[in-house]
Amino acid sequence: MNCRHCAQPLEHVFLDLGFAPPSNAYLTAEDLHSPETWYPLKLYVCAHCWLVQTEDYARADDLFRPDYAYFSSTSTTWLEHARRYVEAMRERLALGPDSFVIEVAANDGYLLRHVMAAGIPCLGIEPTAGTAAAAEQLGIPMLREFFGEALAKQLAAQGRQADLIIGNNVYAHVPDINDFTRGLKVALKRRGTVTLEFPHLMRLIEHTQFDTVYHEHFSYLSLHTASRILTAVGLRAFDVQELPTHGGSLRVFACHAEDARATAATVGALLAEESRRGLQRLDTYAGFQARADRIKDDLLEFLIQQKKAGKKVAAYGAAAKGNTLLNYAGVKPDLLPFVCDAAPSKQGKFLPGSHVPVLPPDVLREQRPDYVLILPWNIAPEIRQQNAHLTATGTRFVTAVPELRIT
């Protein structure tokens, strides 16, 4: 396999999680009687451009299916993040009724609802039918397609270039990152702005966030590599913000290379920090596998101990990262009988691979487990607050990443 960005041969394995099904391929009861497709889940690091990437096996249309079960609006934390973002962009970019905003991977309209409410014309691009339909019910104009250079050329020919293109948690999800980035260039007005949010590779390494590795994430990005990819198509990263979302993310601001806006000092400062942390040295990536294995082993040991002690353990949050963790650890319903999730699209289904049933949150009130394993640790405070009533009867909350913690 060659690097998805620079086409250099990939020789250095960063992480090998064996085989796993797509993390958002939730199963119905009928599906349990049919074969399940598992793909190799392995990361390589390119020693030329330092893009960390999955091995090529799964196709995007196999992963982002019409019944894609992730609805962004389920998380109140994420809804508030989107609202604050829109408010900040309105002020920073002076967006108004004469502006045009495009969001790529608009999901269920979790963000564009705030753009619409502000009276700013917008368009959502979303290939998964279920989430796009939810956005359309809010009155948001949607295109049910994958974004790339070809679609961008169609939009540009229709006079629909954007003042702001939003790519929140999509840049890591595209199999052809060069084509996607060329599309950003084509669809952007001469003085327009692109913002891209994605989990920061530096934080993934620092906090051993190996469960954020799954097939839908084709790329794992540093500012160094993202800037390089943008530069290759004639765009320029002119500002960057570090965010707490998803365990540590970046919001990169980009414009056309010839744009008069100066590059903020934040860009150079973060590039320097990445260099100090060794993100352009192979030895930085060594040893990560052993750290991931320790987390996996600790979780498995905890679950086995509780089973032997006769304790009840449940999980909360049927998240993709949780599926990576459970499948790598080999956890099945004998150790984790059920997981609760607030998303109706997941309730009544089963987690891919582990086949743990997904139930509504009210089941926790009935069952009163001794422990609740929070799988989406990035929103653990929100989940603990929503289920604070459980602590009154002795339930304790557990997270496994970056280390086993019981509260």
By the 8 A CB rule, do 102 and 123 touch? yes
Same domain, 292 and 221: no
Q: Is residue 158 part of a domain?
A: yes
Residue 71: pLDDT above 90? no
Same domain, yes or no, for 148 and 257?
yes
Q: What are the tokens at 254? A: 């980009």
Q: What is the pLDDT of residue 375?
A: 97
Percentage of residues in the chain having pLDDT higher than 70: 96
CATH number of the structural domain spanning residue 202: 3.40.50.150
Q: Is residue 42 part of a domain?
A: no
Which CATH number belongs to the domain containing residue 400 in this structure? Answer: 3.40.50.720
Task: Please report the pLDDT score of residue 66 as a whole number.
Answer: 55
Pair (255, 345) in one structural domain: no
Residue 208's φ and ψ, nearest 5 degrees, are 50, 50
pLDDT tens digits for 336-386? 999 999 989 899 999 999 999 999 999 999 999 999 999 999 999 999 999
Poorest-pLDDT segment among 51-60, 141-150, 376-385: 51-60
175 plus 306 within the same structural domain? no
- 270 and 292 together in one domain: no
Q: Rounded to 5 degrees, what angle do the CA atoms 346, 352, 354 make?
A: 115
In whole angstroms, give the CA distance from residue 196 to residue 187.
14
pLDDT value at position 52?
98
Question: Are the beta carbons of 335 and 311 closer than 8 angstroms?
Answer: no
Q: How far apart are CA 276 and CA 274, in angstroms?
A: 5
Strands 313-316 and 339-340: parallel
In a domain, 387, yes or no: yes
Question: Which of these, 266, 184, 270, 200, lies nearest to 233 by C-alpha position?
Answer: 184
Q: What is the pTM of this model?
A: 0.91
Answer yes or no: is pLDDT of 113 > 60.
yes
For 282, half-sphere exposure in the C-beta direction (CA atoms, 13 angstrom radius) is 9
Residue with tokens 């590599």: 225
- Is position 19 within any domain? no
Q: Are residues 260 and 293 in the same domain?
A: no
pLDDT digits (tens, 9 = 90+) for 203-227: 999 999 999 999 999 999 999 999 9
Residue-wise pLDDT for 171-181, tens only, equals: 999 999 999 99
Q: Of the residues 245, 275, 305, which one is the last residue of a structural domain?
A: 275
> Does 335 map to a domain?
yes
Q: Kindly tell me if the per-residue pLDDT of 241 is higher than 90.
A: yes
Q: List C-alpha distances in Å: 6 to 149, 170, 185.
A: 18, 20, 18
Mean pLDDT, the chain, whole residue set: 94
Residues 399, 328: one domain? yes
Same domain? 242 vs 314 = no
Task: Give the confidence band of 246 by pLDDT, cuts at 50, 70, 90.
Answer: confident
CB 223 within 8 A of CB 279: no
Tell me, yes or no, whether 77 and 179 share the same domain.
yes
361: containing domain = 288-406
| Statement to judge: residues 253 and 337 lie in one domain | no
Torsion sign (Cα): 180, 181, 183, 188: positive
Count of structural domains, the chain: 2
Q: Are strands 122-125 and 249-256 parallel, antiparallel or unpaired?
A: unpaired
CA dist list (Å): 401 to 7, 194, 297, 341, 406:
33, 32, 12, 19, 11
Sheet holding 39-45, edge to edge: 12-20, 39-45, 52-54, 219-220
Structure-block tokens of residue 241: 């913000």
Quick check: 188 pLDDT over 90? yes
pLDDT band at 59 (very low <50, low <70, confident <90, very high): low
* Per-residue pLDDT at 67: 53
Q: Which residue has the tokens 């998964």?
A: 128
pLDDT tens-place string over residues 75-96: 777 889 999 999 999 999 999 9
Same domain, 327 and 397: yes
Residues 6+ apart with CB under 8 A from 347: 341, 358, 359, 360
Claim to verify: residue 184 and residue 270 sit in the same structural domain: yes
Which band of pLDDT confidence, cut at 50, 70 and 90, is reported for residue 61? low
Task: Judge whether 364 lies within some domain.
Answer: yes
Would residue 334 count as lying in a domain?
A: yes
pLDDT at 270 over 60: yes
pLDDT for position 57: 66
The residue out of 275, 309, 340 marking a domain boundary is 275
Residue 350 lies in a domain: yes
